[in-house]
Structure 1
Amino acid sequence: MEITNALASFAALSQETRLNAFRLLVSQEPEGLPAGEIARQLTVPHNTMSAHLSVLARAGWVVSQRQSRQIIYRASLSHMEDVVQFLLQDCCAGHPELCASLMDSLSGCGVVNTNDSNSE
């Protein structure tokens, strides 16, 4: 991930409604939620929620799929993994044991790939 992509991702989450929407969608994986239900649960007007979901989609945090008359939004766990990997890329200056507690806390939710395919 390029730093400019990371900055755009962080900017998209740096607003309370968008961060709450993303966290809600993470909790609803893998089914996702319709846009109207997200708006209802967060008590946000539908048009406002639509704008927030568009920002999250452009930044890669959410994906959408039309199902009949509804658009279902899902958290992009692969994007979240990319961002976490970006943050941890140079973790602990080559001493991964220093990051063990962090990695353990993430491994239970499937965010971090414990099979490091980049190790050489």
Structure 2
Amino acid sequence: MKSYFKHSLWHFLGFLGFAAVFAAIVMLLWNWLMPHIFALPCINFLQAFGILVLSRILFGTFPSGWMARKEMARYHRHPLYEKWAGMNEKEREEFIKNRHHGFHGYPFGQEHSHSENTSEQ
């Protein structure tokens, strides 16, 4: 339980560090560009962080990660998942056994390999 708490704490601190750096970059870019281009006032760190939160609410563009993958999975299933779902237990065991050798760069095995194309010619 302690290791899970430590792991979660490090992830939370990492997220806070990332958010702080990102907010500082937004603040510096804003203060460098906006007052000179659009005659807008300079902003502080908390205002920059607020702009990031507002952009997340309005546009939904950050942060990417598990939530974005979860939302994407709702609309699009990976073809390999579809293949796995259609396999029985024996086929799955064979697939796992051959997953590191035998693909030759193709995720669905030999049926897409260039060896078939060369034998036809």
Question: TM-score with structure 1 length normalisation?
Answer: 0.28
Question: When you count helix as a share of all residues, which structure comes out higher?
Answer: 2
Higher strand share: 1
Q: Point out which structure has higher relative CO (alpha carbons under 8 A, 6+ apart).
A: 1
